[in-house]
Structure 1
Amino acid sequence: MKEGLSQAAVQDLLQDPKGFMWIATRDGLNRYDGQSFITYYARQGDSTSLNNNQVWGLTLDSQGNLWVSTDFGMGRYDYQQDQFHQHIPIPSAPYHRWNNLLSLYALRNDDLLVGTRDGVLYFDQETEEFRYDLFPELRDLQTYSFLETDSALFIGTNYGLFVYDLDYEYQQTFDELPLEVEIDRQLTIHALYQDSQGRIWIGTARGLHQYLPAEKRLVPYLNKNVPDVWNEIHDILEDEQGQLWLANNVLQRFKDSVFLEPFVHDPADAKSLSGDLSYDLGFSQDGVLWVGTNGYGLNVFNPNRYPFHLLQFQPDRDFSLNHAYVGNFFETPEGWILVGTAQGLDVVDFEHQQVIHSQPLYYPGSQKRVRINFFKSGSQAGVYWVGTNMGLLLYDLNTRQLSLPPFSMTIGGVNSMVWINSEEAILGSPSGLYRYHSATGAVYAYPIDPDDPTTMNYNVVTNLTQIGQEVWVGTTHGLCVLDLASGKFRPYSQNPTDGHSLPNDYVKNVFEDRDGTIWVTTWGGGFARYRPDTDDFLVYNTAAGLPNNVVYGIMQDEAGYLWMSTNAGLSRFDPDEESFFNFSEADGLQSDEFNTGAYLKASDGTFYFGGINGVNWFRPEEIEIKTNAPPTLITEFHLTNQPGGSTAAGILPASVLEKDTLVLDYDQNDFRVRVAALDFLSEEPNAIRYRLLPYESEWRNPGPHSSLNYTSRAPSTN
């Protein structure tokens, strides 16, 4: 994340009790609400501004006060006034090393420890005074980290680790305790952390250490299989699973004494770590991990993101598609997935993340590349029927060869195929609908007669689905249902004046769920539930919650939900509640745009969806829907185009964050409100709704816009 951040070197970060993320940089302090940044700077001669633009550290005391250390003292942020209360150790000597505050730590009694370039200061919140004499042995040392436990105070410096007792009730002395283990005084201590089991972890310039005071030993953990720079531990955090996250220039997890696969910068992957100089870590309340880097901005990573696995075209990797565009899937008896791409064919073992085989496909006897529309099983093991833009072919997985079927046909490209018995198939083509006998090669073309409604209504066939003794035929000009016994058709088409007609004539897919309900997806009209009792359709589109009205594939999971691929991501539909939950590229999808025919429910229940930038595969039961609404705050109130607090009447506070009620004069009736939903899980803005009582009885839905405008409101006493 670089957009809006004041500077790319992140030196500390945290989330305050209101939900805002605060990011300290070398050029200003940033507050982020999930949508936009506000940056605080020092202003010369203004004691209510930030002390200095070089911001080193952040901490919160037990009252929720935010404290900020800089190159010239520290400040406490005042939410009520949206300003700072400055505290400077030696105000008369601007360049004194005690004024360079590298780190801050709030003790349990709410007083502060202040790490400087010349030792440690103690700040008494009640008297607002600094003590300079409590840690004489730390003079001339730079202090980077603190940790208060039930029994001791740990301080990390550029000259090793120091431990003190906690008898500071009257702030008289901190007695240094002897370390029972030897620590190299030349070892810089960057990070100190106590995990949920009470274990003390030390991040140093030469690896991770665990301090075991009861056993009087220090256990080093050095990752010997990585560059030395990866053993420089700048920050440590624990997640809900009990694993440690380490900012060690890259980003690495540590669990059960084992260093797990690191997250590193990959120039070919825009979603990788922005740079291999990670310095600071922080978890927000929603479980999002924030990674600050030294010069590469801020990274936001959700360890609990939806488990959408991804396979893309990444030619520098072994596990890669041969092309980004994916058009179809087929599962072999071995459990492999045949993936048709714009380049040809990939045979993929997704379970072991291995590409078994990859090849371009050419029409037999030529150098003309074919585009695969579908695969179907054949009568011979390992040999598959393949519908292509150049006709129906056979593919032998054993020899990896395409061949012509025993009997030639002249119907052109084949878009879809269903076997109606062991020897006969219905073929859908851009040139019409055909009945094909594989043993004899006989082909029968179903006629199109505009004067006979029991014939086909159009010749461009997009999709075929057999349901009982009927074949539902999707075309670009409506839907036809073929009765196999009589050879007659039942047509359906869109009627703009009938809300229960087919929603669009361009039919993409027909699907029968486990309850026997038939669903029809379309290009541009959303999808529809077929109602046999009334022989019409119940339509669902963007007005009902669908993300986009182009719906490609539809599949049902074991819980009964329907999953659909669209031109705006995936959508999970609950048929009982008639409710949607939508997923976008920000949730881990290959892109928001998926493709015709690129969907498969494998025999083990795994779902595969393909699009313009690869494949997503996942188990639907592992997708836990997050429905909790994020905290929502009014962050700005502008009256007659002036920010709150700057009006002539002076009736508004400088910040609305601390106010439950605002009272306006009768003639102050033009105003604008900005609302922030503090959501860091999604890159997409949250939709909000609002109303102004007593003027509005209905909720207004402005979509993702966060500014609410009212003009010329009449006075009200309600």
Structure 2
Amino acid sequence: LIWIEPENNGVISYNPKTNSFNKITATSDDGYTYNGTYFRAFEDNKGRIWVSMKNAGLGYLEGDKTKFKIFNSGKNPSFDNLPNAVTALFYEGDGVIWFSSVDRGVNKVVLQEGYFKQKFPTEKTIQRSDNDVRGILVDRKNRLWLGQKSRNIYVLKDGKQVPIKFVGHEKNALGAVYCILEDSKNNIWLGTKANGLYLAKPLNAERTSYSLTHFKKNQSQPYSLNSNEIYSLLEDKFGKIWIGTFDEGLNVAIVNGGNTKFLHKQNGLKGYPHEGFQKIRTLASDGAGNIWIGTTSGLVIKDAGSAGAPGLRFANYAKMPGVKNSLGNNDIQFIFRDHKNSMWLSTSGGGLDKAFVQNPFKKVSFKNYTTQQGLPNDYVLSSTEDRHGYIWAATQNGLSKFDPLKEEFTNYGTYNGLPKVTFSESASQRFADQSIVFGTNRGYIHFHPDSIVNKKSAAKMVFTNLQVNNVDQFPDSNGLI
């Protein structure tokens, strides 16, 4: 195609093969009245056609190159707060655009690859909590369950909402769902902040309709939950459901036919600490079936027990100042087991910890990976593993990919196309196609690790001046400074 400057607004494309012309116009609505005549068109490294037009400013065409997307019309959030009336433009190559405008000054735009897709459960809303994703699950049907702080539940399949019905209940009346578990019987367990626990049993083969049973703390019933603050759920190798509360420690659900009772420290769950370790953020199981309990006070490990009775052995580990191989931080956000059965702990301020287990009830040591080793931030909220064995960690300063063999980090932030979000606690999952999803305060981030290409480009650098104490320096007759 040949791109031609018209007499008035817009741009004209000419197709020599069909001998046809097509005029494309756009109108700026950013408030400027600009009658400049600057015009330029170029193609970037991704095949997009950029046009700086008279009056209507800067925009681009992609795909079939018939629909013009104006650079900043106040409607494109990717280009928010950038000026529209362009007076000069230079394309550096490798996706870097420089331009000046009637706003004065110079603007630099770096065109990013778009590896990380930000998606919103609720597209049109003024309530931030509607897209604040906390609970997250990919079920056996490869559906994505999302629990919002706004008390909504969404189920998505291939990015589209699945109509899920809870018989006798509204989906937005459950409370703020902080954790979601699918058990071995295809039941869905929903743990909420301040509203207890729900058990959803499928009523049809498609699993789109569920009966719902609500469990809450009841002082008059000794075998009820001992807390309504449910932050983590886990099914052990015997099918028992373990519940981590954020104020009263550990519970286990004992299901007998249609009856469910909960054991905890007040009614028969022996061995769990009564002091400290009560605020549980995360639960995970190791290769032997032992349960790892991450709390704000450190790590507790409980033995696997048996099918008939919960284990009675507990061991706890905490950060010891000055001890190299202790926990990086006592506040543990998330724990997961990798394909080699190694246990990884995400901590608040202590980075990412790998556990080395000789005997889980006698000696566990930890290797800390922090900003000193290349992590972008020591506050790690969640982590998971991709199919190549790399660890992906969500931090307070972007995402990081860790190579356990080389012990190297590759970090991704806004310069790599990662949207400006805050990652949620314990909110990471992996789809059947091995793509990864993280919950955030603004929807969720979805990406496939295999699609991310780390490339380097040769930068052109020009040495223009040297000053020492604000005095220009020049080479002498021998070319030395």
Give the TM interval when normalised to the shorter protein: 0.7 to 0.9
Aligned to 2:428: 599
Give runs of aligned pairs for residues 346-495 of structure 1, distance below 5 A: 346-347=153-154, 349=156, 351-352=158-159, 354-355=160-161, 370-377=175-182, 384-389=188-193, 390-395=195-200, 398=208, 403-405=213-215, 409-412=224-227, 413-421=229-237, 423-430=239-246, 431-439=248-256, 440-446=259-265, 458-467=277-286, 468-485=288-305, 486-495=311-320
Structure 2 residue identity aligned to 1:493: A
* Map of 1:553 onto structure 2: 382
| Residues 254 and 323 of structure 1, relative CA distance in 2, 3 Å threshold | closer
1:222 aligns with 2:222: no
Q: How big is the shift at 1:474?
A: 0.8
Post-superposition shift, 1:306? 4.6
Q: Is the 8 A contact 1:561 1:573 kept in 2?
A: yes
* CA distance, structure 1, for counterparts of residue 164 and residue 463 of structure 2: 55
Matched position secondary structure for 1:438: strand
Q: Which has the higher contact order (CA 8 A, sep 6+)?
A: 2
Which residue of the partner structure matches residue 173 of structure 1? Answer: none
- TM-score calculated relative to the size of structure 1: 0.53
Cα distance change of structure 1 residues 379 and 448 upon mapping to structure 2, 3 Å threshold: closer
After TM superposition, the structure 1 = structure 2 runs for residues 577-592 of structure 1, keeping only pairs within 5 Å, are: 577-591=406-420
Matches within 5 A, 1:153-172: none
1:339 aligns with 2:146: yes
TM-score by length of 2: 0.77
Tell whether the 8 Å contact from 1:526 to 1:540 is kept in structure 2 after alignment. Answer: yes
Corresponding residue for residue 32 of structure 2:
none
Whichever residue aligns with residue 415 of structure 1, its letter is Y
Paired residues for 1:86-125 under 5 Å: none
In the TM superposition, residue 532 of structure 1 has moved relative to its aligned partner by 2.4
> Where does residue 284 of structure 1 map in the other structure?
92
Cα distance per residue 1:549-608 (max 9 Å; x no partner): 111111111222111011111111111111112222343334353221222112221211
From 4, 11, 14, give the equivalent of 1:210.
14
Q: How far apart in 1 are the matches of 2:155 and 2:101?
A: 36
Tell whether the 8 Å contact from 1:237 to 1:281 is kept in structure 2 after alignment.
no
Give 1:42's aligned residue: none
Q: SS at the partner of 1:323?
A: helix
Q: Aligned pair 1:503/2:328, yes or no?
A: yes
- Which segments of 5 or more consecutive residues in structure 1 lack a partner in the other structure? 1-198, 646-651, 664-718
Query: How far apart, in 1, do the equivalents of 2:387 and 2:439 lie?
Result: 21
Matches within 5 A, 1:23-422: 200-204=2-6, 205=8, 207-210=11-14, 212=16, 219-223=20-24, 234-248=39-53, 249-254=57-62, 258-259=66-67, 263-266=71-74, 269=77, 271-272=79-80, 274-277=82-85, 281-290=89-98, 292-295=100-103, 300-312=108-120, 316=124, 323-347=130-154, 349=156, 351-352=158-159, 354-355=160-161, 370-377=175-182, 384-389=188-193, 390-395=195-200, 398=208, 403-405=213-215, 409-412=224-227, 413-421=229-237
Residue 227 of structure 1: how far off its partner (Å): 5.7
The secondary structure found in structure 2 opposite 1:415 is strand
User: CA 1:358–1:264 in structure 2 vs 1: closer, same or farther (change >3 Å)?
Assistant: farther
Q: CA deviation at 1:290?
A: 3.8
Distance 1:258 1:507 in 2: 52
CA distance in 2, matches of 1:569, 1:297: 29
Kept after mapping to 2: 8 A contact 1:455/1:488 = no
Query: What are the within-5 Å matches in structure 2 for residues 519-534 of structure 1?
Result: 519-533=344-358
Say whether the 8 Å CA contact 1:606–1:619 is kept in structure 2: yes
CA distance in 2, matches of 1:323, 1:223: 38
Unaligned runs of 5+ in 2: 30-36, 202-206, 306-310
Q: Which amino acid aligns with 1:434?
A: N
CA distance in 1, matches of 2:263, 2:275: 13
Relative to structure 1, is the Cα distance of residues 416 and 314 closer, same or farther in structure 2, using a 3 angstrom cutoff? closer
Relative to 1, partners in 2 of residues 1:391 and 1:466: Cα closer, same or farther, differing over 3 Å?
same
In structure 2, what is the Cα distance between the partners aligned to 1:480 and 1:368? Answer: 33
1:526 partner letter: G
Report the equivalent of 1:19: none
**Contact 2:14–2:21 (Cα < 8 Å) also in 1:** yes
For the pair shown, the structure with the greater C-alpha radius of gyration is 1
Q: Distance in 2 between matches of 1:323 and 1:358?
A: 18
String of CA shifts for 1:630-676, please: whole Å, max 9, x gaps: 5666665443x3x233xxxxxx23xx9x999653xxxxxxxxxxxxx
Q: Taking structure 1 as reference, are residues 469 and 378 closer, same or farther at Cα in structure 2, changes over 3 Å only?
A: closer
Q: Which residue of 2 aligns with 1:566?
A: 395
| Secondary structure at the counterpart of residue 382 of structure 2 | strand
Percent identical: 21
Secondary structure, counterpart of 1:484 in structure 2: coil
